């Protein structure tokens, strides 16, 4: 694997330089700075691009494009460089020593896989977060939480992998296209992997490669609920068919009722805790379902409660 055959896209957000430790770790594993591109989604209008780290290039988006748009921006730049493999990383991902090399070796050894990814643990712990994702018969998604039995090659076949850390063959991207930017954020990696598998390429987790991830849903409960509901309904339709839309919509109605009840018992002090979080989830879930049927795509509405750290979309 030559330096010219790999491109790395690090999706950064906001002005806190949270991506700096990730980039420094990549450079410390002998990935050339010329192979690393930092795509910056600004959190505020007029927010300056971060300073380059160690000679890496920085590509500034004009606004917060979300995961799908930001990664597509980086992928297009890597396509011009004619790389064979592109490693996509979000700013909060932390690849453990050797993980990058294991992913690259798996990609070289196993050309039938279009996408490979590491096993994920929760940041700062050994608690498993994801050994890949699966899609239920209803069209809903879940993470494999227990270490599965790998193939002889050390890879676990799955339906999809988390978008925070994924290595993709550029010919596969050329064949199936990039991420669906209508999704903006959440479920876009599952939808992408669905297209990859339908095109005849495998999706798998290299079990001995490990990365840390910090799920962000708790930071933005309303936006998280909105995007998961809207995008998840469309993903279910594409993965399973129209019957899945009916099932997911029924589940959505139950979830809204449950979160409203959870808020009520907190308001009435029958249970400890504040009501803001369950109310944000209820509103986000309901509006996500409504906007799906209205055909509203892109970023979540700015007036949603529980937007948290999402701005400038």
pLDDT of residue 149: 86
pTM of the complete model: 0.95
pLDDT of residue 4: 55
pLDDT of residue 34: 94
pLDDT tens series, the chain, 313 aa: 454 599 999 999 998 889 999 999 999 998 999 999 999 999 998 899 999 999 999 999 999 999 999 999 999 999 999 999 999 999 999 999 999 999 999 999 999 999 999 999 998 899 999 999 999 999 999 999 999 987 889 999 999 999 999 999 999 999 999 999 999 999 999 999 999 999 999 999 999 999 999 887 778 999 999 999 999 999 999 999 999 999 999 999 999 999 999 999 999 988 888 899 999 999 999 999 999 999 999 999 999 999 988 887 7
pLDDT of residue 143: 97
Beta strand 6-13 with 36-41 is parallel
CB 91 within 8 A of CB 18: yes
CB 25 within 8 A of CB 94: yes
Residues 6+ apart with CB under 8 A from 279: 259, 260, 263, 305, 306
Distance CA 106, CA 103 (A): 5
Nearest to 208 by CA among 116, 107, 108, 119: 119
pLDDT of residue 309: 83
Name the burial class of residue 136, with classes exposed (0-12), middle (13-18) and buried (19+) by CB atoms within 10 angstroms of its CB: middle
Nearest to 201 by CA among 174, 162, 239, 232: 174
pLDDT of residue 103: 97
* Positive or negative: CA dihedral 169, 208, 219, 191: positive
Nearest to 212 by CA among 113, 47, 90, 58: 90
Distance CA 236, CA 174 (A): 24
pLDDT of residue 233: 98
Backbone φ and ψ for 135, nearest 5 degrees, come out as -115, 125
Name the burial class of residue 127, with classes exposed (0-12), middle (13-18) and buried (19+) by CB atoms within 10 angstroms of its CB: exposed
> 3-state SS string over the chain?
CCHHHEEEEEEEECCCCCCHHHHHHHHHCCCCHHHEEEEEECCCCCCCCCCCCCCCEEEECCCCCHHHHHHHHHHHHHHHHCCCEEEEEECCCEECCCHHHHHHHHHHHCCCEEEEEEEEEECCCCCEEECCEEECCCCCEEECCCCCCCCCCCEEECCECCCCEEEEEHHHHHHHCCCCCCCCCCCHHHHHHHHHHHCCCEEEEEEEEEEEECCCHHHCHHHHHHHHHHHHHHHHHHHCCHHHHHHHHHHHHHHHHHHHHHHHHHHCCCCCCCCHHHHHHHHHHHHHHHHHHHCCCCCCCCCCCCCCCCCCC
Q: How far is CA 168 from the centre of its chain?
A: 14
Q: Give the Cβ contact number of residue 88 at 10 Å.
A: 27
Q: Give the Cβ contact number of residue 62 at 10 Å.
A: 9
pLDDT of residue 145: 95
């Amino acid at each position: 694997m030559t330096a010219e055959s790999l491109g790395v896209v690090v999706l950064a957000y906001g002005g806190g330089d949270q991506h700096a430790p990730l980039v420094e770790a990549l450079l410390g594993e002998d990935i050339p700075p010329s192979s690393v591109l930092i795509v910056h989604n600004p959190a505020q209008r007029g927010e300056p691009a971060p300073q380059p780290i160690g000679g890496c290039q920085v590509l500034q988006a004009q606004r917060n494009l979300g995961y799908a748009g930001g990664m597509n921006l980086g992928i297009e730049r890597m396509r011009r460089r004619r790389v064979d493999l592109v490693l996509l990383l979000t700013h909060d991902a932390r690849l453990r020593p050797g993980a990058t090399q294991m992913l690259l070796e798996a990609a070289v050894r196993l050309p039938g896989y279009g996408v490979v990814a590491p096993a994920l643990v929760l940041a700062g712990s050994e608690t498993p977060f994801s050994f890949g994702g699966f899609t239920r018969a209803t069209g809903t998604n879940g993470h494999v939480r227990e270490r599965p039995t790998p193939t002889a090659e050390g890879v676990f076949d799955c339906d999809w992998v988390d978008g925070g850390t994924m290595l993709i063959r550029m010919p596969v991207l050329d064949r199936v296209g990039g991420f669906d930017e209508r999704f903006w954020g959440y479920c876009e990696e599952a939808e992408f992997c669905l297209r990859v598998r339908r095109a005849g390429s495998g999706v798998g987790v290299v079990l001995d490669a490990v990365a840390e991830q910090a799920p962000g849903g708790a930071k933005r409960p309303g936006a998280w609920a909105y995007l998961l509901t809207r995008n998840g309904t469309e993903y279910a339709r594409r993965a399973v068919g129209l019957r899945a839309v009916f099932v997911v919509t029924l589940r959505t109605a139950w979830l809204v009722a449950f979160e409203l009840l959870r808020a009520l018992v907190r308001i009435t002090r029958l249970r400890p805790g504040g009501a803001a979080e369950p109310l944000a989830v209820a509103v986000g879930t309901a509006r996500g379902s409504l906007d799906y049927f209205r055909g509203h795509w892109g970023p979540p509405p700015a007036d949603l409660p529980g937007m948290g750290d999402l701005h400038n979309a």
